[in-house]
Every structure is written in structure tokens, then in C-alpha cells.
Structure 1
Amino acid sequence: MNLKSKPFNVSIAILGHVDSGKTTLAKMISTTKSTAAFDKSPQSQERKITLDLGFSSTKIPIPEHLQKRAEEMQIKEIQFTFVDCPGHASLIRTVVGGSQIIDMAIMVIDITKGIQTQTAEDFIIASIWTNKMVIVLNKTDLLPEEKLKKRIELLEKHIKKALSDSPFGNSPIVSVSALQSKGNELVMKELQNMIEIPERINTKNPFVMLVDHCFNLKGKGTIITGTIIQGSCSVSDTIEFPSLNEQRRIKSMQIFHEDVLQAEKGDRVGICISQFDSKLFERGIVCQPGAISSFTGAIALFNRIKFFKHPIKSRSKLHITIGHETVMTKFLFFKPPKEKKEVSFDNFTTDLEYLYVDEFKQEDSPIFALLKFEKKILALNNSLLIGGKLEIPLESNECRIAFSGQIINGFNWETESKSLKENLKIASFKFRTGLVDRVQDSSTLIGKDLFGKGAEIKRYSGTQVSIENKDGKKTDGTIISSFGKTGKFKIRIDSNDSSWIEVGNIIKMRKTKYVFLV
């Protein structure tokens, strides 16, 4: 199979609370399974829950609404790759890693239990990556016919209300019994109605693949399976394992058991290499040699998740997940003055003086952040990320996802932070306050209590201050000299209207300090 004849891949995450029937549903709507599908691991079979990402697929003809687009792109067939994600709350790192390769999502809800803790968290995770979802009410076989219709109506009403201000407010809701294979055609119909052919930009960029499984295949070699997130690869290409500093040549490739010569961004592919110990590599990144660098620091753009109820303070630490890797990370938040520039991925520059933000609140989104990782990570600039407080106890029923974001620029903290500190100006302001002691005339006043006795007030000549009264009226002024030897000082009033200024009004002087992470 060559690149033009292979189907166009669309990845669909199957999410939901533990024991909601995700894996059973995946079996129902799939026609082909991968080497990592349907809880094949001994641990999953023993515990009877999904412990790792599972992959399966099915092919569909081009839906009518995509005929023209598919013809333009020379696509003859579409392949749905289903990513079966664990439902247990303790496996959130695996869910986050799997969610980063998806184009659409299926949310499976146990019809007898409704929205549960992990269901709600999965809605949040999915909303970061996609706005396309089919909601599946599973296990209809557990309810008698006379109660089923009423339960469906009640649950649909509750779900629509809960999702009314989310990207999934208008998502279709279907009822199925995955165990009895009833309703699979409803799920597939909604997926086909919803599907669009996603943009696969940067397919000419260097090859990068998120690997989720690595194992030996007797008589063949070592197999790595994963999803290509950038570029393309071909048989005989040399690929690199940057975490191991090793390179291997691609012997052969398959997409769900079909041999291919090439694979591109968006494809889930199995790559066969030789003379490689699979025990050295479980999951992570492979790429074109030299395409990936390691980071220990980064500038990023963040958006806060409104359901996260804990404060997010500068210089605090949270978990960050990028790809399949989770690392503890320290933050410092900052933003430009409102009148200067909006906060966006393309607007970051070291030419601007930024304002330090002590606590990242909802109204601050989006915001810039300086990141310091506790260990090296492998990632691309522009990589998507999720941050959270993953140590929150499972029984607390709290949202652990704090923010989502994107890396603007990664760097080596040890060698580059000194230069960045000199160029990245993040200003923290402290205010010193005094009082109006005397109004000398309409343009001059005398202040006190801003400086101590014997202070070198001439150092502050030309410094801007503000004068405020108890009603909130204010104007600016400039310190021009000391006045006597008791710490008093003279201020020139900048406003033409100073008639309201009187003894006892507050004088504020702002002191600027530039901050950085240590």
C-alpha cells in the first residue's frame, strides 16, 4: 500500500469512568484490532479493567458531505482509529497522553449511574483537544423496558444542562447495549455525520511520532507503535530515539496489519526495526535524527480550567504532561500591560516589559508562564500540554486539571536561563505610602512619611507618585526635592485641577523589581 492509496486516519478517543463499558464498545464498533487492543495485557485481564491505551480501527466509505473535500485531497477511504483510554482516576497520566492524538471523542456513560467523577474530568480533557463528541449511554440492557425510556430522557436532560456552556453542549446522545451489540449503527452514524477531514499541516516538517508501545516480535525484530504528530516516514528511513541517543533504520511498517511504504501525520503505525532491546524503551518520542531537543525550561501560553478550585501561584509546582511524559514543573506567571499587546502564542517577545502575576486566576486567561522542569523533557516548540494537581486524593471528587497550554519556546535552563533573565523583564511592583503634609500652592505640595529621617531623597528626584483622597479621586505628581531634614519632600502636581487635594491625602510611590525563577 502506498501513501496515496492508504485510508485517511481519524483518531477517536473512547473516554469514560471505570467500568462504563468503553472496551466492550470498542469491540462492538471495530473491525480490526492492533497488538495493543481490548485489554490484552495480563494485568488488565487479571484486574478486568483497562490499564493502558488500547487501539482498534474500522474503515468507512467517504460520507456524502465530504465527497468534494476527499476528491481534492485524493482520499478514497477513511479509517477510524479508536483509542480506548483507561477509566480509573489513578491512570489520568495515561488518559492525558492518549487524548493528545485525537481528532474526535466518544464519551461512554453507564446509564444506571450517570455522570461520575472521572466522566466529568474526561469531559474537561477532551474539550482541550476537540469540540466533536458523541455521548453514548451504555448498559441499556440493565434496565427494564418500562423504566428505560424515562431514564434516558432524564439523563439526556441532565447531560445537556451540565454541558450547556462547554464545546459539547450540542453533542448527539445515543443509547446502546455494547454487551449485546445493540446500537453500534447509531454510534457509527453519528460519527460519520460529525466527521470533518482535519487539517494535517506541516506534513513536510521533520518526522516526529508519539510511541505508546514497544515490544519484540519473534523472527521479525522490535515493533514500536504510535501516532505520527508531525511529518512523515518511509521504509528504509533512519529514525532516532532521542532519549537513548540511538538510531535505527525502518525495516517495514504496517497500519493495522496492512503493509505500507509510507506513513504521515495523523496515522497510527507500527514500525519494525532490528537489533533494539524493547526493554530500554516503553513509550515516548521517536523522530527524524536531530528533530527533537531536550528542554529543562520553557516559555508557554496557558489557559486556566474553570473547574479547578485550587489557587495557582507563581513559584508553586504542578504536574505537566507533554505527550506521554509527566514532569513536576515550577512556574512564574506574567502578562503584558493591557495597553501594549494581547496575550497570544504569536505575540510573545522579549522586547516588552511584562507584569508579574502572583496568582493565575480565571480572568487572567490566557497568560504567559516561565517554566522550570525538574528533569529533561523531549518536546517540540508548539507542543500542547496539560497541567494539574495529580496528587489530589481520588476520593475527593475534585477536578485535578488546572490548565492547558502550548510551549512557545523551549530551552536548556542550565545554559540559557542567565541570558533569558537579562532579556526577559518581568516587573513586580511594590508601593511605599506617605501622606500630604501641606499644600503649598496649586502646583506644589509637601509630603511626609514616605522616607525615613536622613534618607537620600535626591536619589528619588523625578520619581512619579500618585496622590489619592478617600473618595478614590487621584492625580499624578513628581518628586522634585527634599524639604528640610526630617524626611519630608516636595512634589510638583501634574494636574491642573488640584483644588481637591488636602492634608492627609495618601501619596503612593511605586517601586519596580524584576523577578525570575530560581
Structure 2
Amino acid sequence: MPDECQPLHNINVGVLGHVDSGKTSLVAALSTKLSTAALDKHPQSKERGITLDLGFSSFTVPMPARLIAALPCRELQFTLVDCPGHASLIRTIIGGAQIIDMMLLVIDVTKGIQAQTAECLVVGEIATQHMVVVINKVDLLPAELRHKLVVKACKRLAQTFAATTFAGCPMVAVSAKPGGGDGPAPPAEGVPELIGELVKMVPAQPRLVRGPFLFSADHCFLVKGQGTVLTGTVLSGSAEVGGMVELPELRVVKKVKSMQVFRQPVSACRQGDRAGICVTQLDASTLERTLLCTPGSVPTFTSAIAAVEKVRFFSGTLPSKGRVHVSLGHCTLMAEVTYFGTPDGSGHEPAAALRLVLDRIGQLALNENVGEFDYSTDYAYQHELHGLEGRPSASGRQCQHYGPQWALLKFSQPVTAPKDALVIGSRFDTDVSKAACRLAFYGRLVALLRAEDPSELAHLRIFKLKMRAGSIDRVAPDGFSAVCKGMFKKDTDISLFAGMKVTTASGAVGTIEGSFGKSGKFKVAFPKGIVPAAPGHNSITLTFKRYIYDQNKRNMVQ
């Protein structure tokens, strides 16, 4: 049996779906406890009739027998994170991605999958491996055809989800608010079955309370006579009343005066908990969404390296040096992005400490630790971020993967975030009226750096492969050397290329020895000899690496 501070094991469930799919009605049907931000309490939400911000509520069930040994708590609590569905509010949905353990994808049975349903599905794939599809508003179907139409809808959705990490996920038909409208409604239908599917999905895995405390605060308000309350979700570690926490964006350290979990006082909170933390002498009007952490554990930086994957539903190109919206937690800002990867592009991992865990369709498993970035490895510059070659079929056919890829992110302003933060890149400049996925890539930070410092950036060994072409002018009588031309201008310092290998059209390999005269010609030695080629077949090529951040711009390596 747990101690009195932790009678509950909490699971955060994101409720996502297209606008007007009935998410908030479903949350109302499930919830028994409401937070200060629940069921569209925002004044503009009531005025516009849509969810504008993250809402939080919860319900509890007795701890299932199968989980008691691993999770010795009296009850299992599900905290529902009601996310907006409108296209213009995708930033808020992304902000909710970092805190959810499971997901309910709500689909209006009369409309099926819509544009923002697909984006919510992408967010779900990034955030969790556990999803239940809620087929809502089944009361709007003709009673005599309802069962047949629901079965047909499930089959159609199953085909769609077969190409995702949620292949074979459970689906539950519900009517969250039978009859709709604003007045009293009959009891919701299908709720017990939905709760049963959620309980089945709960892993027998206790929360990890080791490591620094990190708390994502999504609402902040003043309680007269008490102090400022920050409500949010514990992402890692734990904190106690009387302990010290830092607001890293403000570089302010405060003492925790009190804590509550859904208005019930507690003495501590840990990873996964939804809590309110009260501190004193903090101006609530200057804060909205922020972080709390163990003092000194969250840095501020201007550039970073992230291990990334392209979202396979994103149809556009992502060129290096392009600017995209990058979201880290609740913060979204512009960044210039340079992509790089394994030198051969074969998909094989380099002999480095960084290992990317790929699931069955080749995507980065973000619940795994991606390790430390290896600055000693050579990385190939990419003109764009690659995706997957082809799509997986319903039978689970494997897709070829391009291999590990990274992104150098140069932010438009300093950003404060955990050094291993979840990163989502988006193209919010895309027309929201078009049925196109705007989420472009995702990943995790693996290293922080100051890209404005050339000496620090020079440690990043990203190269472009250069190639020069020339021809053999004449072969020496002994057949072991040749004079070549056409590769360099007459004012080129050919000594920079001395010792580099060149290859002839027939495959012979020679070494550049130096210049020959002052016209740009040069001499090449062929240790194994060379046979004069027929006219038109005397070409030679030189390939070498040029490191794009090397301060010595004349430095070239083969």
C-alpha cells in the first residue's frame, strides 16, 4: 500500500481530434474531478464554442489486480488533457504532446478522418505508443443501421491506422452527448467500455522519480493571501513542500509553500502527476506557460543539435538553411535548420555513441534515450531532410530508412528548455484551409552549443563532398606518371591538393604531386602504371571533403 502522499497512480491521457468532434463532451462524460482549467472555462472558449486551451480533469478507478504488484496504489487516476482541435491552435496541441502517456483520438462517425484528425494522429505517434480511437456521435446514425455502419467505420479506420504505429489499436463507439444541444442530455453511451480499454493499456511500470525535477506549468494565477499557483504536469523527478524550485526562464529560485493535486493537499509530487504548486512573491501576470525545475538543471541556449526524423505525412521538402517553426514544450519560435547524416547514406549507424532506436516503420522511438552526440565523427551535409522510401503496407512491410539524421538548430532568440527536450518542427506558413500536414519533423535535443561562436561551431565535423573533373594531357614514356589539365585554374595553389588521389575513367588511381608549369596543369604519379587512353576516354576525377564550419576555409581532406 502506498504512503499517504501517493494514494494514486496517475496516467495522463491526451484527448485529441478535429474541431467539433465532441472531445469536450467526452471529457465531461468521463470526468469526476475538474481543475481550474477544464471544460472550456476560458471566456473566449464559451463565446466561440470551441476549445482554445488545454483543459484538465480526471476520474479514478480501483487499481486492477494485475497492476497492484508493480503499482502499489489504492486507485488508478486518469487525468484527461483536453486539447484544441482547430487548425490555428496546433501550437497548443503540440504543447500538450510532452505530457501525455496515452491518447484518445476522437472521430465524428458522420465525418470520419479530417485534416486536423491526421495532424493529431501525428502528434500522438510522436508522444505515445498507446491510443484508443473513440468513434463518437453514433446516436446520429439511424438506429436500425447503427451497428452495421459502426462496423464499416471501424474497418475503414483500421486500414488507415495500419500505416501507423497504432495498427490494431482498440476502437470504441460512444455517444458522449446523445442528442447534442445545450440542454440536459440522456446519459452518455459507451463510457464504461472506453474506460475498460484505457485500463487494459496501463503498463505495469512505476514512475521514475530519479533525476532532476522538471514541471511543465500551463496555467498560473494568484490566490489572495496564499501566493502564486502554477498548475501543470511533472515531467520528471519529484518535489516536496519546503523544497526549492527554479523558474529557469526568469532565473528565479522559490520555496514551495504548498501543493495540491486536484484541490487535495499533498506533501510531494512525482513524475506523471498533475499538480498545483504554490510559491510566494511571484507576479502571476508576467507568466502564462513556463517551467519549474531543480535549480540549475535547465539551461538557456541559442543553438542545439537534435536527432530528427521527417514526419512521413509531410509532403513538402525541408531544405537545409531553411527556416521552420520549432516547438520545445510550450515554446514555439523560428529556427534556421541545417540537416546532416551518415556519410554513406546507406542507413547503417556510424560507430558512434549516438544510437537511434528505430521502430518497425523506421521512425525514431522518442521514449528511448538517444545518448550523447559524438563530435569526433564525420557527418555528411544534406541538402534536405530525408524521409522514408515508400510507406508500410497493412501487412507490415518494412520500409528502407535513410539512416540516422540530425539537425543543427539556430534559434531566432534564446530558448530555455531541458537539454534532451522533445522537438517538433512545423511549417505553420502552410494554408490551414488545405488538407496538408504541417508537422514536418520531430526528435530530441542531443547537444547544446553556441553557433554564434565560430570556434565552437568548428567542432561540428559536417562536410560537403566536392568533386573536380579534368583530363590527362599526356602520359610519361615510363607509364608511371602523367601531366593532367582542366581541373584547376592557372592561379590555383595546387600545393593544397598535393598527396590527394585521383581516379581515371579506367579505374587507375594516382596521386597529385604538384603543379606543372603556370597554366594550371599538374603532375600525377601512378604507382601501378597507366596505359594511355583513347581520345575522349582520358578523364580523371578528384573527390574530397570540405568541412563547412572549418575556420581554415582552405583545408580539404579526402
TM-aligned CA deviation for residue 421 of structure 1: 2.1
Q: What code does the residue aligned with 2:84 have?
A: P
2:489 corresponds to which of 452, 455, 458:
452
Separation in structure 1 between the aligned mates of residue 168 and residue 16 of structure 2, nearest angstrom: 18
Separation in structure 1 between the aligned mates of residue 494 and residue 456 of structure 2, nearest angstrom: 33
The answer as to whether partners of 1:382 and 1:407 remain within 8 angstroms in 2 is yes
2:199 alignment counterpart:
192
1:427 alignment counterpart:
463
Separation in structure 2 between the aligned mates of residue 388 and residue 3 of structure 1, nearest angstrom: 43
TM-aligned CA deviation for residue 198 of structure 1: 4.3
Is structure 2 residue 510 aligned with structure 1 residue 465?
no
1:341 alignment counterpart:
351
1:383 alignment counterpart:
421
Q: What code does the residue aligned with 1:341 have?
A: A
1:360 alignment counterpart:
385
2:158 alignment counterpart:
160
Give the 3-state SS of the residue equivalent to 1:394 in structure 2: coil
The answer as to whether partners of 2:246 and 2:293 remain within 8 angstroms in 1 is yes
Structure 1, unaligned stretches of length 5 or more?
none
TM-aligned CA deviation for residue 443 of structure 1: 4.5
Give the 3-state SS of the residue equivalent to 1:291 in structure 2: coil
Separation in structure 2 between the aligned mates of residue 32 and residue 319 of structure 1, nearest angstrom: 35
1:16-415 matches, within 5 Å, as: 16-70=17-71, 74-180=72-178, 181-198=188-205, 200-201=207-208, 203-338=209-344, 340-341=350-351, 344=355, 345-346=370-371, 348-362=373-387, 363-414=401-452
TM-aligned CA deviation for residue 422 of structure 1: 3.1
Q: What code does the residue aligned with 1:155 have?
A: A
Give the direction of change, closer, same or farther, for the CA distance of 1:78–1:419 in structure 2 (3 Å limit). farther
**RMSD of equivalent CA atoms:** 2.4
TM-aligned CA deviation for residue 36 of structure 1: 0.7
The answer as to whether partners of 1:438 and 1:502 remain within 8 angstroms in 2 is no
Separation in structure 1 between the aligned mates of residue 92 and residue 23 of structure 2, nearest angstrom: 15
Separation in structure 1 between the aligned mates of residue 532 and residue 20 of structure 2, nearest angstrom: 70
Equivalent residue pairs, number: 507
2:524 alignment counterpart:
491
Give the 3-state SS of the residue equivalent to 2:333 in structure 1: strand
TM-aligned CA deviation for residue 336 of structure 1: 4.0
Residues 179-223 of structure 1: CA deviation (Å, up to 9, x unaligned)? 03000011101111111144533x232221100001123443322
The answer as to whether partners of 1:2 and 1:260 remain within 8 angstroms in 2 is no
The answer as to whether partners of 1:4 and 1:75 remain within 8 angstroms in 2 is no
Give the 3-state SS of the residue equivalent to 1:240 in structure 2: strand
Give the 3-state SS of the residue equivalent to 2:69 in structure 1: helix
Give the 3-state SS of the residue equivalent to 1:152 in structure 2: helix
The answer as to whether partners of 2:475 and 2:532 remain within 8 angstroms in 1 is no
2:548 alignment counterpart:
515
TM-aligned CA deviation for residue 154 of structure 1: 2.4
Separation in structure 2 between the aligned mates of residue 279 and residue 511 of structure 1, nearest angstrom: 57
- Quote the sequence identity (%): 39
Give the direction of change, closer, same or farther, for the CA distance of 1:436–1:94 in structure 2 (3 Å limit). same
Q: For structure 1, which segment, 82-91 or 352-361, has the greater mean C-alpha deviation from structure 2 after superposition?
A: 352-361
TM-aligned CA deviation for residue 458 of structure 1: 4.4
Separation in structure 2 between the aligned mates of residue 206 and residue 459 of structure 1, nearest angstrom: 51
The answer as to whether partners of 2:221 and 2:284 remain within 8 angstroms in 1 is yes
Give the direction of change, closer, same or farther, for the CA distance of 1:435–1:269 in structure 2 (3 Å limit). same
TM-aligned CA deviation for residue 138 of structure 1: 0.3
What is the TM-score normalised by the length of structure 1? 0.92
Give the direction of change, closer, same or farther, for the CA distance of 1:412–1:64 in structure 2 (3 Å limit). same
TM-aligned CA deviation for residue 254 of structure 1: 0.9
Q: For structure 1, which segment, 400-409 or 151-160, has the greater mean C-alpha deviation from structure 2 after superposition?
A: 151-160
The answer as to whether partners of 1:103 and 1:198 remain within 8 angstroms in 2 is no
Q: What code does the residue aligned with 1:307 have?
A: F
Q: What code does the residue aligned with 1:48 have?
A: G
The answer as to whether partners of 2:458 and 2:550 remain within 8 angstroms in 1 is no
TM-aligned CA deviation for residue 413 of structure 1: 4.5
Separation in structure 1 between the aligned mates of residue 142 and residue 296 of structure 2, nearest angstrom: 60
TM-aligned CA deviation for residue 365 of structure 1: 4.8
Q: For structure 1, which segment, 485-494 or 257-266, has the greater mean C-alpha deviation from structure 2 after superposition?
A: 485-494
2:11 alignment counterpart:
10
Give the direction of change, closer, same or farther, for the CA distance of 1:44–1:517 in structure 2 (3 Å limit). farther
Give the direction of change, closer, same or farther, for the CA distance of 1:427–1:106 in structure 2 (3 Å limit). same
Separation in structure 1 between the aligned mates of residue 550 and residue 479 of structure 2, nearest angstrom: 46
Residues 394-430 of structure 1: CA deviation (Å, up to 9, x unaligned)? 011111111111111224455xx33322322221222
TM-aligned CA deviation for residue 246 of structure 1: 2.6
Separation in structure 1 between the aligned mates of residue 325 and residue 95 of structure 2, nearest angstrom: 13
Separation in structure 1 between the aligned mates of residue 217 and residue 264 of structure 2, nearest angstrom: 19
TM-aligned CA deviation for residue 63 of structure 1: 2.2
1:436 alignment counterpart:
472
The answer as to whether partners of 2:298 and 2:419 remain within 8 angstroms in 1 is no
Separation in structure 2 between the aligned mates of residue 188 and residue 175 of structure 1, nearest angstrom: 12
Q: For structure 1, which segment, 434-443 or 147-156, has the greater mean C-alpha deviation from structure 2 after superposition?
A: 434-443
Give the direction of change, closer, same or farther, for the CA distance of 1:353–1:67 in structure 2 (3 Å limit). same
Separation in structure 2 between the aligned mates of residue 200 and residue 505 of structure 1, nearest angstrom: 68
